[in-house]
A and B are shown apart, each in its own frame.
Chain A
Amino acid sequence: MEWASLAFEIGLALARAIFMAIEKGDASILDRPVRELLGAPLATTLAKRAADARAGARFP
């Protein structure tokens, strides 16, 4: 019973520490890792590739 109470208090302390970290801004602002978000070609690069293909067809 004592250990169950102790575990509860530790859990509470953990929750407080995590909440404080988030409140202080330590949590990531990203929903995915940077390498995933920036790993693929950028939208502008894709737009350029498509435009280059159209220009290549127009001016072979």
Chain B
Amino acid sequence: MRNTLAMRACVVLATAAVVGHCLAGCGGPPAAARRSVEVATVVLLEADRETAERYAVAAAEALDASGSIAEYRERLAPWDALELALRVAQSAVLSASAVVEAWDAGGRDRWAAAAGCMVEALGRVREGLEALGLRVPPELASVIDLVVGVGAAACPDSGGA
């Protein structure tokens, strides 16, 4: 009876330990890396949703007020800069996500650079929003700090984070 109880306790504890270890990482990416990509995704989609509506309004106003395509482009320049920043951030977050998903297949070595690019791209989005006087989601600053905290290095595509 005592042996049976001991065996049961060992099996239960071992199972719980293995499951707990796997849920905490199991050789995969650190939770902070995965979470930073997830938060960046949420923040980016939020910023995009708010920007899209205002872009359409600004474009319609610019079209009414412009006498040439050059004038129209000039009026919309800050909005186009923000659209580009959002698109670059979209690409950077997708790349960082792919790195996290392939953590054990080389992603671990590429994380610092991917995180650096994500930080830089999100920083550009923040600048674009601020330049237009739009609301900057408070989570944007938080996620930039979070990504820096989990090992962001310089983005190799730009020469600096």
Given the known interface contacts A10-B12, A55-B69, the answer about A50 and B86 at a Cβ–Cβ threshold of 8 Å is no
Q: Is the CB of A42 within 8 A of B98?
A: no
Contact (A25, B94) CB under 8 Å given A17-B20, A45-B87: no
A1-29 residues with Cβ-Cβ distance < 8 A to B are 2, 5-6, 9-10, 13-14, 16-18, 20-21, 25-26, 28-29
Q: Are B86 and A45 in contact (CB under 8 A)?
A: yes
Contact size range, B: 35 or more
Known contacts: A28-B38, A42-B86. The answer to whether A48 contacts B97 by CB under 8 A is no
For residue B115, CB closer than 8 A to chain A, the reply is no
CB within 8 Å for A26 and B31 given contacts A43-B52, A51-B56: yes
A50 contact from B15, B45, B53, B56, Cβ within 8 A? B56
A residues in contact with B4, CB < 8 Å: 2
Q: Taking CB as reference atom, which chain A residue is nearest B32?
A: A25
Q: Mark A31-60, 1 if CB is under 8 A from B, else 0.
A: 001110111001111111011001110110
Q: Assess whether A47 is in contact with B41, with CB atoms less than 8 Å apart.
A: no
Binding site for A on B (CB under 8 A): 4, 8, 11-13, 15-16, 19-20, 23-24, 31, 34-35, 37-39, 41-42, 44-45, 48-49, 51-53, 55-56, 59-60, 63, 66, 68-69, 72, 76, 79-80, 82-83, 86-87, 90, 93-94, 97-98
* Listed A/B pairs (22) with beta-carbon separation below 8 Å: A6-B8, A6-B11, A10-B12, A13-B15, A17-B20, A21-B20, A21-B24, A26-B24, A28-B34, A34-B94, A38-B97, A42-B52, A44-B51, A44-B82, A44-B87, A45-B83, A45-B87, A47-B55, A48-B55, A48-B59, A50-B56, A58-B63
